[in-house]
Each structure stands twice: as structure tokens, then as C-alpha cells.
């Protein structure tokens, strides 16, 4: 069995459980580095090999995974990486950063993750990867040890762009939730119970991802299967949004996202 030699830099809340998944893999020899000694000791106990510096780690590995705080730290790590090592950037960075590093002669993949510490711990992360096919193939065993959904999104930078699109949904939805909570509170409802209902039904329906099956945002032509499906979605959505806005007006609650969503829903679905 050929052993992959992998390194991991950045053993924080998500990086540490990701690295622990690599340490548990039978076909991966793992080297680790972090400025904090405690997570390094934990990884060493799990079978990882501590490195004294990023440069020392980079000399030992074929694939170097990075999960640090920001672009500046990613660039600092990259300073010590040789062109022969595949640098896998798991941090969410500016879309131009991976290409900037590749322009210096490095083999780079941008591979941000979604799923949080829980997904990292149980190996169920979604990992969105951008970069050349050969680098993706070289890193794939490590990626599949850390995530249950590994998507090669396209050329370098595509993984980061996909992560930003995914998180746009995430945080706009969070903002919508705060709006709904204010409405529910004004209506005298139990917010904890509402949250339980939301999590339950999203687990059944797929939440916002339930409408994400088309491969284009172009208008849906007559006779297309999705037109009937989304006509139904629009009818329900416009009715319920109108009722929610009416309730908000009655209770004096500001719901700007709901007011924006109502006239945009049909067009966004491809119906207008």
C-alpha cells in the first residue's frame, strides 16, 4: 500500500478535527504544525508527526493542507512551500489569492469546506475544490478522508467562488431568521419551539437547497418540467409572504427582507 505523505497547518476548531481524520487514515502519513502546542500534542498522540516549523513540514510531504485564519496567514505558509508540493487551501480566502500563489510557481488547490466543526469531526464535510486535474488527483485521498462530499468545482478559484455562493445563502438566511424571530416574538410565539420546527422541516425538505436542481438561472420555457414545480412554489411563496407581511404590519414589525423577496420570488425562480 502506497502511503500518502500529507501535512496539515492550522489546528483550530475546524482544522484540528480535519487533521484527526487524516491521522486516523491507514494510508496517510501525517505531519502537523501549529503555533499552539496543545493541538499539536493531541495530533501527536493520534499518530501525527509534529514539525518544528512550516518549512520543516513542507520538506516532508507531498500534499500540504492549510486551515488558517486569513489570506495573510495563507500567504505566510506558502512562503515555505516548494513547487513540488500540492498546497491545499481550506481557509476561505479572497478569490484572487489562490491564483496569485500559483503564479509564483506553486501547485495550488483552493478547497474551502462547509459543515463546521461537527462535519469536520465525523468526516462529513463538503469540500469544494478548484484547481488543475493532476493536483486534485494527488490530493484526493486526503480530501476524501476529511469530507463525504468532495466536488471538483473547476479551475483554480472555483472552489472559493462556490464557497462564497454557498455562504451567501447561509448568511442571508440567517438574516431572514432574525427577521422571522422578531415577527414570531411580537406574535407571542415560543422562539425555541419555532427553531425546532425550522430545523425539523429543513431536514425533511432540504431547506433553501430544495430548489437548486436546475443547471441554469435562465427563464424556464413553457412545457419544461420545472415550470410546473416552480409555479407551485411561487404561488405558495407569494401567498405566505403576503400573509407574513400583513401580520408584520399589524404588529409593527419591520420585515425588509420579506418585502424584497415578495416581488423577486417569481423572477428568481425563472418564471418571469
* Residues 169, 229: Cα–Cα separation, whole Å: 21
Interval 230-264: pLDDT, tens: 999 999 999 999 999 999 999 999 999 999 999 99
Compute how many other C-beta atoms are within 10 angstroms of the C-beta atom of residue 132. Answer: 15
Interval 99-119: pLDDT, tens: 999 999 999 999 999 999 999
Q: Is residue 81 predicted with pLDDT exceeding 90?
A: yes
Give the Å distances, CA to CA, from 234 to 93, 203, 226.
35, 21, 12
Interval 175-223: pLDDT, tens: 999 999 999 999 999 999 999 999 999 999 999 999 999 999 999 999 9
Interval 6-51: pLDDT, tens: 999 999 999 999 999 999 999 999 999 999 999 999 999 999 999 9
- Domains along the chain with CATH numbers: 4-156 (3.40.50.720), 162-269 (1.10.1040.10)
Interval 128-185: pLDDT, tens: 999 999 999 999 999 999 999 999 999 999 999 999 999 999 999 999 999 999 999 9
Q: Is residue 1 predicted with pLDDT exceeding 60?
A: no
Q: The whole model's pTM is what?
A: 0.92
Is residue 163 flagged as an active site residue?
yes
Q: What is the pLDDT of residue 175?
A: 97
pLDDT bucket at 75, cuts 50 / 70 / 90: very high
The single residue of 16, 149, 163, 239 carrying the catalytic annotation is 163
Name all contacts of 55-62 with Cβ < 8 Å and 24+ positions apart.
55/80, 57/7, 57/9, 57/31, 57/32, 57/33, 58/7, 58/82, 58/85, 60/5, 60/7, 60/31, 61/5, 61/6, 61/7, 61/31, 61/85, 62/4, 62/5, 62/6, 62/86, 62/138
Q: Is residue 95 predicted with pLDDT exceeding 90?
A: no
Q: Which of 36, 28, 37, 35 is nearest to 7 (CA)?
A: 28
Helix pair angle (225-251, 158-186), 10° resolution:
40
Amino acid at each position: 500500500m502506497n502511503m500518502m505523505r500529507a501535512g496539515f497547518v492550522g489546528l483550530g476548531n475546524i482544522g484540528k478535527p480535519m487533521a484527526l481524520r487524516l491521522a486516523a487514515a491507514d494510508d496517510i502519513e501525517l505531519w502537523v504544525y501549529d503555533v499552539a502546542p496543545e493541538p499539536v500534542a493531541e495530533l501527536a498522540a493520534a499518530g501525527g508527526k509534529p514539525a518544528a516549523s512550516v518549512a520543516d513540514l513542507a520538506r516532508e510531504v507531498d500534499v500540504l493542507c492549510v486551515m488558517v485564519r486569513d489570506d495573510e496567514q495563507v500567504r505566510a505558509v506558502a512562503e515555505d512551500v516548494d513547487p513540488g508540493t500540492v498546497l491545499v487551501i481550506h481557509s476561505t480566502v479572497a478569490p484572487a489569492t489562490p491564483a496569485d500563489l500559483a503564479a509564483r510557481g506553486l501547485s495550488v488547490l483552493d478547497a474551502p469546506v462547509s459543515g463546521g466543526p461537527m462535519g469536520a469531526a465525523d468526516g462529513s464535510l463538503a469540500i469544494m475544490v478548484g484547481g488543475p486535474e493532476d493536483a486534485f488527483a494527488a490530493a484526493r485521498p486526503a480530501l476524501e478522508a476529511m469530507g463525504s462530499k468532495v466536488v471538483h468545482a473547476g479551475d483554480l478559484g472555483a472552489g472559493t467562488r462556490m464557497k462564497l455562493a454557498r455562504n451567501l445563502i447561509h448568511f442571508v438566511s440567517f438574516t431572514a431568521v432574525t427577521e422571522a424571530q422578531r415577527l414570531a416574538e411580537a406574535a407571542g410565539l415560543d422562539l425555541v419551539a419555532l427553531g425546532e420546527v425550522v430545523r425539523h422541516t429543513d431536514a425533511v425538505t432540504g431547506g433553501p437547497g430544495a430548489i437548486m436542481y436546475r443547471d441554469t438561472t435562465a427563464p424556464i420555457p413553457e412545457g419544461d418540467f420545472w415550470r410546473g414545480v416552480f409555479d407551485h412554489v411561487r404561488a405558495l411563496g407569494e401567498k405566505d409572504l403576503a400573509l407574513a407581511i400583513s401580520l408584520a404590519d399589524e404588529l409593527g414589525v419591520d420585515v425588509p427582507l420579506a418585502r424584497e423577496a415578495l416581488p423577486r420570488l417569481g423572477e428568481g425562480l425563472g418564471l418571469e
